[in-house]
A and B are shown apart, each in its own frame.
Chain A
Amino acid sequence: MTQPNNDQQMDRRRFIKLSGASLAVAAGTGLPMLHLRSAHASVPGTGQAKTSGKLNNWEDLYRDRWTWDKVAKGSHGWANCRSHCEWDLFVKNGIVVREEQTATYEQSESAVPDFNPRGCQKGACYTEVMYGPSRVTVPMKRVGDRGSNKWEKISWDDAIDEIAHKMIDIAKVHGPSTIMQDLGPNFDHGGSTLGRFKFLMKTGGTFSDMWAEIGDLCVGTAMTVGFAHTGGTADEWFLSDYIIVWMMNPAVTQMSDAHFINEAKYNGAELVVIDPHYTATATHADQWIPPESGTDAALGLGVARYIWESGHADWDFVKEQTDFPMLVRTDTQQFLRGSDLEEGGDRLQLYMWDTGAQALYAATGCEGGDNPKLTLEIDPAIEGSFEVTLKDGQSVTVKTVGTLIKEQLDHFSLKETSRITKVSEEQIRVFADGFAKAKRPFLLSSWGSNRFVHADLMYRTRILCLALKGAIGKRGAGFSTGGFFDMGGFGSQLQQEHEGLYGRLAMMAGVLDGDDLFNLVVDIVKQRKAPEMYAHDMASAGEKKVVCRSTMANEYYNHQGIKETLDKESAKIYKRPLEDYHKEAGEKGWKEDMSGPPKIFFTGGSNLIRRTNQTGRMLDTFWPKIDLAVAIDKRMSFTAMHCDYYLPAAGWYEKSGIKYTMAYTPYLHYCDAAVPPLGESKDEWEIHWMLSKRIQELAKEQDLPVMDACGKIEVDWKKLHDQYSSHGLFGAKDIEKVTQTILDDSPNIAGVTIAELKEKGIAKFRSTGENIQPTNQYNPDWDGDGVLTSMTLFTKHKYRWPTYTGRVQFYIDHPWFIEAGEALPVHKASPKAGGDYPFQMVSCHCRWSVHTTWRDIPLLLRLQRGEPVMYVNVDEAKKLGIPDGDFAELYNDLGTVYMRIKHTTMVRPGVAYYFHAWDPTQFPNHKNYKWLTPGIPKALHMAGGDGQLHFGINHFQLGSYVQDTRIGIRVVDQSVVAATDARPDAGRPAVGQSQKPFMLRETRA
């Protein structure tokens, strides 16, 4: 082989260098991308450099590609996916060239597979987003109309100064709580998000939760077990012998954990996938059960009846852990309460029927009881009808919840269940029989399972099936809605203004008044609550007292100009108009509204206008009410396009952070800054540090008075920066120190240092948390070792559930529920939202993006079709006369949009199926399917009063639901769509010379 000369060597080096940089250079958009101007020198950090030797031949060319100057540990901090994965970030010539999973997780125990390597194709190419086509790295100010996309570069100082001035001017007139920050869904648990939230909190702005708005909040779970988010580690799935994937597609939406399901099959488990569509997960199923879309509650009720009658129900569990034995008055349909039986009786004391004594028994564990334990000293009746004498001497008939459920289930014979669901009796029987006989059934339903307006009913029926089997809070059995490891330090640091006072104590001292403290002491002395519950309740109380809050769905209703549409849609569900519910909830304090329309809007990471239903109304009615819209983002999102200022945030490989801490793996995932922030971008801690500083300066200059925020708190912007920076404890560049403080202040991870995390990337949690988030703290047995089984506080330690019955609660006697006929889990047909049209438009989280992040990068678009597609069953598409790949017109009462149709055999006829989060800019006229979704709210989710039925961030709230949307699909002349294009034929390179058949044989001599 000939030796290359020096020039050739040089050429090769140049070639390699260019290939590393080409991804960045090719991504140029013409927007200011100053980060590309110069490559940063390597920054000190972890990881050994790997260099190649001489480039002697072609093999060495390739060897040289697998070299690097530095490796940093990182993750995708703000990515709103349910997974978390640690990556090695390879830096070469100052550019992060690629990423590969670190993969150093250990087996939780020898009985289960380990978590390695985690990751997905998106994590494997975040670098394409980081240097991607919509990245903007300089501060900009709008110079044309909103949405005109006419910007000019502005200095950081000028941007901060102008925004601070405007904020003060607006707050003076409208009050600080008209500052609205779209609370999520993009956030992490490190210093950057802390800065963002702390700024909002200290300014007195409104935290407007979107968890239910996007349809992801497990409201049905909150109703039934008292909290929306629960679940253990994903390796627990492996221990099940009967895995039921019901309204979830983990092969697509939870790639890094999905292996446990397929491995459980090899371990002997049966895998059942219930989905109208033959999903990627269903391809591996032992049973694929395709019900009519939206009939899942009926299927659940049919299965529950089968289990009940099978002789395999766990009645001991049912008696102790569920509300089956609780007594309900047949006259009022309300629980029999202490206040019914005697003057001054506690209305929160509920009753069972003691079969031994043949008498009423005051149930322990319910909200009004003094005993927080569920342990039964009597044998209560599960079924039965009894006569009871009330305090006024009147006699009423009471029935057990069990009896009411039984009566309900009687309607759901296999035949009737089959009629509704369109699943054959035989298939239901096979499924139900397997369920009944299983030792450890495990249910997997995703956040996306909550997107029907009656999804709460579906979830309640699914939990009913599990409860009958006693399959909750039991190793290898149960369900997971996605629990969290509680980063207590995040919550307490959010409020900290001083050094020294930490954690739960600080929270309580900060928020409790005399009455609360007294009640707390009484609860502790009387042992009325499980220790973990104090924190939970105090957190709720604290949130209520110190946080201005609302929900996005609520504010849309108030300000988006969609009342009329939603009232019309809601009339399909309830007799009373939606407005009635809003009014009553407002009057009774069950919901909280902003004091007026939002005036100052901050967006960062999330993409409000993209995700809103009835987008047209968002743009023409809601958005113009905002006087100042600031995007603090790493990329020019559709929402950022409509803002007044764009402040460039550092990307996820450019700042210290912690990927949000879901319970699927028992590890904290650290994000290191592999390179400094690109261009002029800054991390959010610093941005809000600068902003709070300037606001404080101006407030002092103007002697801005103390302001009232939402009637709850008083804020003094003259002290804003002092509070934000904890009186100078944290400087502008101190994001790492802030993140370290969050760690120090989180008891389940405290002691871990950032220095260690820079080396290892991950650290194992020692408990799920003992702090303030109303998430998952109910796992007292887990101390960092072994598989995490959730909810053993109740099932093993017999403490009451955080519901007002104190039990897994299937009967809800709230007047609204009774009126709506939803006191018990029932099946209700999916309302025809948007009008009576032949297709139900159903979405799934996407394989190829996390919402709009990754949606616009060529690398991944090339592995799709480059444009949004609506999946339609091939036979139906042919009947409609729409060829594969053609644009079609999608329409309903709300309007018309164009979208390409993709033929498939996976989708159920009658359904138009899409993988969500395509950006409006990817559609003709920049109008996507969201223009067609009314987003019906479910009025009952504003119910308040007892126990679990109270508004709370991440807990229970009004949402908006999209899966009920109906559309028509019709052929459209392709030239009509093309005519909407600003330059239909310009700028496209000629389609090669190969518009020719693949077969070339005939052209040969």
Chain B
Amino acid sequence: MKKETVKLMTAPAGMQPGGYVMKAYADRVNPAIEAAQLEVENAGQRWRIQLRWACDKPLSTVQGETDLFPDACAIFVPTTAGAPWITMGDKGKAVEGLLWRADQEKPMGIRAEGMGTMQRSAAQDDWSVKAAWSEGYWTVTFQANGWAALKQHQQVALAIWRGSAQDRGGLKSVSQGWIAAV
């Protein structure tokens, strides 16, 4: 089992596509979440990936509101060697992963080939996520059966969105690079 405290950085606004976010959020230099505990457990085909981070103001209900964003996190892996992590992959060099949102029961599958290209889809049926907030911490545990890309590349990166800081899209705290999964 892999267990590590991952130091997070803010995803640089300056890299965001379009003219607005890069300027409007240029002052975002400190990550909303500074660090997360990562646990990766591999039992045959079955992967258990757990993230745990400090969050004093959890936000999990956004239903019926216009200005709220849920806490969320994603774990993603390269599908080809050399897929860049900071830009969520690149053309022909996709990354894929699992996304958890505090307002949803099921994880979503994600896939991207660069900034602003992320596609969401239903995750595989037997993939699941469990999340709990307790005493100032979120603990989110993904269960993924037969994740080929992870098995192949043995690398993960992670992103955490803090709802109370209006994190969403490219406004997020991310690992500072690929992390060895084992």
Contacts and interface: CB of A to CB of B under 8 A. Distances in A.
A1005 B162 contact: yes
Contact of A993 (B31, B32, B68): B68
B67 interface: yes
B166 A1004 contact: yes
A78 B164 CA distance: 53
A879 B30 CA distance: 50
A1004 B32 CA distance: 9
A393 B31 CA distance: 113
Nearest to B33: A1005
A994 B32 contact: no
B32 A1005 contact: yes
B72 to A, nearest CB: 15
Contact of B166 (A993, A994, A1000): A1000
B37 to A, nearest CB: 20
Interface in A966-1004: 992-994, 1000, 1003-1004
Nearest to B57: A1003
Interface residues of B, number: 15
A895 to B, nearest CB: 41
A1004 B161 CA distance: 12
A991 to B, nearest CB: 11
A1001 to B, nearest CB: 10
Nearest to B61: A993
B28 interface: yes
B67 A994 contact: yes
A1003 B64 contact: no
B65 interface: yes
A992 B65 contact: yes
Nearest to A998: B67
Contacts of A992: 64-65
A1003 B67 contact: no
Contacts of A993: 61, 65, 68
B165 interface: yes
Contacts of B67: 994, 1000
A993 B18 CA distance: 31
A993 B67 CA distance: 10
B165 A1005 contact: yes
Contacts of B61: 993
B172 to A, nearest CB: 11
Contacts of B162: 1005
A993 to B, nearest CB: 7
Interface in A283-303: none
A993 B64 CA distance: 10
Contact of A1004 (B64, B65, B68, B165): B165
A1000 B164 CA distance: 10
Contacts of B30: 1005
Contacts of A1000: 67, 166
A1005 B28 contact: yes
Nearest to A996: B67
B162 to A, nearest CB: 7
B103 to A, nearest CB: 12
Q: Which one of A993, A1000, A1005 has the greatest number of beta carbons of chain B within 10 Å?
A: A1005
B105 to A, nearest CB: 19
Interface in B132-182: 162, 164-167
B75 to A, nearest CB: 22
A1003 B164 CA distance: 7
Contacts of A1003: 164-166
Nearest to B173: A1005
Contacts of B165: 1003-1005
B164 A994 contact: no
Interface in A303-344: none
A993 B28 CA distance: 25
B32 to A, nearest CB: 4
A994 B66 CA distance: 10
Nearest to B165: A1005
Interface of A: 992-994, 1000, 1003-1005
9 contacts: A992-B64, A994-B65, A1000-B67, A1003-B164, A1004-B165, A1005-B10, A1005-B31, A1005-B162, A1005-B165
Interface of B: 10, 28, 30-32, 61, 64-65, 67-68, 162, 164-167
Smallest CB-CB A-B distances: 8 pairs: A1005-B32, A1005-B165, A1004-B165, A992-B65, A1004-B166, A994-B65, A1005-B30, A1005-B28
